[in-house]
Structure 1
Amino acid sequence: MTMAALIDSRATRAPAQPLASGIARVDVLSDFAAAEPAWRALEASGLSTPYQRFDFLKPWQRHAAAQDNAAPFIVAAMDAEQRPLLLLPLALRQICGLRIACFMGGKHTTFNMALWDRGFAASATAADLDDLLKGLRARDLVDVLALTQQPARWGEQANPLALLPHQRSVNDCPVLAMPVGADPTALVSNSFRRKLKAKEKKLQALPGYRYRIANTDAEITRLLDWFFRVKPIRMAEQKLPNVFAEPGVAAFVREACMTRLASGPRAIEIHALECDEEIIALFAGVADDQRFSMMFNTYTLSEHARWSPGLILMRHIIDHHSARGCRGLDLGIGADDYKRMFCKDDEPIFDSFVPLSGRGQLAASALAALHRGKHLVKHNPTLFALARRLRGAWH
């Protein structure tokens, strides 16, 4: 029996049990179509990050998740009137005989979070989360919830899952706060802007030089074709593995970039600098009213790379999203030097490893210890330098 079939069969047999809090029942779904009404309702008016959009995670599940044998494990908590209170978009994996549920999206999401009804998120208590976990334990479908890279807050709202036992995530996420109405020079200083404008003058001399946000399918296809040719070369220069060569990843990225949201933009939006001769730089990420979050980027292999086109493009993106009222911008997990040029603060993010069965107790403790060890290495310059040398030698 496949994992998805096992989820369906046990979920059908397991009766929903009334719980003490506002949660009246907990459902586990392995089918996107069955989850879609509640998912889209919470996405439209609830609290969530753009990484948990239906139109972002469905392509990931279709194309990339199968290589990890990851079955959809979508947890929906409903109130007594069958209104959705929260939805956890998880994927279930069998690892060493253990059933481990993680957020969908794998390494392609910077932030992981449940989708919440705003009123319920504002009032949720530890007792509510206990009832959620009781509903999951009653079904005996999973041993451990491995809930990593969760933001402590989204917008003005605290993340209710921070009420569970948690620890700092392995990596930090540099972030740029963008107060509404802030002067652009408060986001990117005058001195830095002058340096970038001096470099951009060299590019502006190129015929057809422009900054654009891809809008048509033809533009998106052309930009992604270029990206998938250039990015492997850039990653090889850095002695990094090419994650975009993993089965299904390119197809996931292409579909998400092509999918237009009900609100108008694409599930992944692409920003680019180009001229008539070539594409010069590309940044792609997800966005909502609160945040632009960069997912992937690269820049030209030509001599035009010497004018720092990636930094110039980043300034354009900051100005664009600031003008539309965005409250923050991040450049993804990790403290690369170029990120710190723009993002001076860190987004608090945390991990929770929650056992749901007897054998899950040891596994949850082991996962928590492993991630604490990774955090120690990443935040100790000597250990991190050693790890990078070993990784470079390995590749």
Structure 2
Amino acid sequence: MAMAATLHDADAHPRPHGDASRIARVDVIRDMVEAEHRWQAFEGPDFLFTPYQRFEFLDAWQQTIGVHDGAAPFIVIATDADNRPLLLLPLTVGRENGARIARFMGGKHPTFNMALWRREFAETITGTELDGLIAAIRRQPNGPDVLAFTQQPQRWRNIANPLAQLSGQPSTNQCPLLIMTPGCKPEDRVSASTRRRLRNKERKLQSLPGYRYFVAETDADINRLLDAFFIIKPQRMALSRLPDVFSDEATKKFVRDACLATLPNGARAIELHAIECDSEMISIFAAVADGERFSTMFNTYTISDNARYSPGLILLRYMIDHFGERGYSSADFGVGSDVYKLTFCKHDEPMVDTFIPLTARGKFAALGMSSLTHAKRLVKQNPALMQMAQMLRNAISR
């Protein structure tokens, strides 16, 4: 069911050149089926969005993990006076500590959260138009107390992300970034010394019968890779004394549904890349891609002796070359400063969190979430505190 707020003259703010606010109507849709047609209108070349906000990806999440966690869709769509789409906010609402919190759909699985924007609108939106948007959301019946906009990229495709400018604070983790120049030599993407080191390791694997790198394209290959992933991953996590975040059935179904989901262009919502031989699956990496950026998601690698030859790094090198040869200009491997990420990434993708209270109750909730995020960031930046946190996590997981 959709609820609408029309921005009447009293709510319209003058723009610097004298025109009225371009946002004429704000609808809130609370059903994925009802939202699908309008959502897909935002995924053309005139719009700005990350691959994590595609309908197919988030619909798979909502129908599995979202339903399991009790997250209710709260999809905000802004249009102009000619009913042209300007912005879509893919949110869900859930109750946390007595307050109704609106978060980006997708939970912990997207690296980046942001709205889907008409590109020209994102480049020229004014502060008063943003104020009008927030005011329209605030007027929605049964709405949230807080808008919790976390892990927002400050820029996307070299365009400032408007919602990341709203009194944001640095996210708990930043995201290492690999910048690639389209058409460059392979050694400009991955250094010659790193390539040489990985080639020496790979020679041990290349002697295995049936050794190959490939991208899963058929449903049969996708299901085969995921079957192997769900066997290997819990063993790999147990060896690291970490909880298996893929253990529950809702998460497994989301992963499988999103990997099998086909986009309008024929690609998969999540791509699976792998190295295997006749006797075993050696390494698997999942990624989302949009023609300019590819971002890795989940991964695992064998628990056999072949693990000592760094198959995960070898697979990443294959993936970087695969996308680089197709003209991609950047890559990231998720948040956090793991050593393997820094092997390839020499830059960071700055990300911010923004907590916007919409009610009196929301003011206290927003303050609490902001303070908690700040504290987590301090821990991550302090090696001694981080070591203590890791020791506590290991003790709890025993």
TM-score of the alignment, normalized to the shorter chain, above 0.5: yes
How far does residue 128 in structure 1 lie from its aligned partner after superposition? 1.2
CA distance in 2, matches of 1:36, 1:217: 23
2:37 aligns with 37
How far does residue 16 in structure 1 lie from its aligned partner after superposition? 2.7
Task: Please give the residue correspondences for 1:176-195 in structure 2 after superposition, counting only pairs within 5 Å.
Answer: 176-195=178-197
How far does residue 15 in structure 1 lie from its aligned partner after superposition? 4.9
Residue 100 of structure 1 aligns with an amino acid whose one-letter code is I
Task: Please give the residue correspondences for 1:192-271 in structure 2 after superposition, counting only pairs within 5 Å.
Answer: 192-271=194-273
Residue 42 of structure 2 aligns with an amino acid whose one-letter code is L
The size of the alignment, in residue pairs, is 385
SS at match of 2:150: strand
What RMSD over aligned residues (CA atoms) do the two structures have, in Å? 1.2
Contact 2:151 2:352 in 1 (8 A): yes
SS at match of 1:127: helix
CA distance in 2, matches of 1:159, 1:201: 44
Give TM-score scaled by structure 1 length.
0.95
CA distance in 2, matches of 1:66, 1:242: 20
Contact 2:274 2:284 in 1 (8 A): yes
1:5 aligns with none
Contact 1:273 1:280 in 2 (8 A): yes
SS at match of 1:72: strand
Contact 1:75 1:90 in 2 (8 A): yes
Please state which structure has a larger fraction of its residues in helix.
1
Contact 1:126 1:164 in 2 (8 A): no
Whether 1:368 and 2:370 are equivalent positions in the alignment is yes
1:263-320 Cα offsets, whole Å, 9 max, x none, are: 1210000000011111110000101112110101111111111111111000000001
1:45-98 Cα offsets, whole Å, 9 max, x none, are: 310000000000001000111222100010111111111100000010011221
CA distance in 2, matches of 1:85, 1:37: 15
CA distance in 2, matches of 1:155, 1:17: 30
Residue 113 of structure 1 aligns with an amino acid whose one-letter code is M
CA distance in 1, matches of 2:33, 2:81: 22
Contact 1:125 1:163 in 2 (8 A): no
Residue 135 of structure 1 aligns with an amino acid whose one-letter code is A
Structure 2: segments with no counterpart, 5+ residues: 13-20
CA distance in 1, matches of 2:145, 2:83: 27
Task: Please give the residue correspondences for 1:67-82 in structure 2 after superposition, counting only pairs within 5 Å.
Answer: 67-82=68-83
CA distance in 2, matches of 1:247, 1:253: 10
CA distance in 2, matches of 1:305, 1:360: 48
CA distance in 2, matches of 1:229, 1:246: 13
Structure 1 runs of 4+ aligned residues shifted over 2 Å read 14-19
Greater mean alpha carbon deviation, residues 52-61 or residues 331-340: 331-340
Task: Please give the residue correspondences for 1:1-395 in structure 2 after superposition, counting only pairs within 5 Å.
Answer: 8=1, 12=3, 15-18=5-8, 19-20=11-12, 21-45=21-45, 46-140=47-141, 141-395=143-397
How far does residue 247 in structure 1 lie from its aligned partner after superposition? 3.9
CA distance in 1, matches of 2:395, 2:175: 27
Give TM-score scaled by structure 2 length.
0.95
The percent of aligned pairs where both chains have the same amino acid is: 55
1:122-147 Cα offsets, whole Å, 9 max, x none, are: 11111111010010111141100000
How far does residue 233 in structure 1 lie from its aligned partner after superposition? 0.9
CA distance in 1, matches of 2:372, 2:223: 40
2:17 aligns with none
Contact 1:67 1:247 in 2 (8 A): no
Structure 1: segments with no counterpart, 5+ residues: 1-7
